[in-house]
Amino acid sequence: MKLGNSPVVEVVLDIDCDLPPDFDLARSEDRFKKAFLSGYPKLRKPIIATHHLEMKAGTPTHASAELGVSAHQHVSEDEKQIVQVRREGFSFNRLAPYSGLDACLPEIERAWRLFVDLALPIQIRLIRLRYINLLQLPVLQGLPMQLSDYFVHSPLLPDKDTLSFLRFLDQRVALEKETGEVVEWVMASQGLEGDRLPVILDISSVSMNTRELNGWEQILGQIQSLRRLNNRVFLKSLTEKCLQLFHPLE
């Protein structure tokens, strides 16, 4: 199904790798910056804090923290697209407006090949494809919200006569038996915004069957498999009434 008004606010593709023992994130920054400069002129370096707590009998507890760079993020001029070089591997982020994964795949392939040339990954450990959707559900003034109108398996109240939802968080994890892929989806409501109830539907599928993934065509096949799983969870989680909010195309 193609949607005229996609609810996707961000898509993230992670390819986690075993990198060479001598790979150094900080020392590689300039090489990656030069390689990605034409499409990603901006550079960000998220900082991560590692906390250490040392406890020994008869001595005071000693606490310390170490700051370090967790990745370097190469950001497009409009800040809608990001290539990340992480200690764990490679990531590609696409923010709204999102016109579909097919439109992103040529650039993902180009960025991945650059990453491989510079990082020299030894092997792929996992591939993760994540879709973050923002569903703006209409709320009629004076009437209770019927979540079952929009979700096939909606969150339930233990006593609907005396209780009404303020917020909800629903998380589920499943294994696809045929492929061995794992999919996790989270539904989380936010506060009412006028006549709309914003609900995040976060769907993430993971494959760790990556031992034979040596070339881009094999990686692409795995990405396509994860996309089919994500799309199936999306379509089977929402009612027809909900899907109509996003203007399905013929």
Domain boundary among 121, 143, 175: 121
**CB-CB contact of 168 with 157 (8 Å):** no
CA-to-CA separations, 190 to 101, 168, 187, in angstroms, rounded: 27, 8, 10
Domain boundary among 86, 121, 156: 121
Q: Are residues 11 and 41 in the same domain?
A: no
Cis ω before 97 (30° cut-off from 0) = yes
Dihedral over alpha carbons 238, 233, 196, 171 (to 10 degrees): 120
What 3-state class would DSSP assign to 51?
strand
Domain boundary among 92, 121, 150: 121
Q: Are residues 148 and 79 in the same domain?
A: no
State the pLDDT at residue 211. 75
State the pLDDT at residue 155. 84
Tokens linked to 232: 């199936």
Mean pLDDT of successive 10-residue stretches along the chain, which has 250 residues? 90 96 92 95 74 63 56 95 95 95 97 96 96 92 77 86 83 95 96 89 95 86 97 96 88
Q: Are residues 50 and 157 in the same domain?
A: no
State the pLDDT at residue 88. 93
Q: Are residues 167 and 224 in the same domain?
A: yes
Q: Are residues 68 and 107 in the same domain?
A: yes
Q: Are residues 182 and 97 in the same domain?
A: no
Q: Are residues 88 and 37 in the same domain?
A: yes
Q: Are residues 99 and 191 in the same domain?
A: no
Domain count, the chain: 2
Tokens linked to 37: 């400069």
Domain residues for the domain of 106 are: 20-121
Q: Are residues 1 and 29 in the same domain?
A: no
Q: Are residues 227 and 170 in the same domain?
A: yes
Q: Are residues 173 and 50 in the same domain?
A: no
How many other C-beta atoms can be found within 10 angstroms of the C-beta atom of residue 230? 21
Q: Which amino acid is at 111?
A: A
Q: Are residues 73 and 136 in the same domain?
A: no
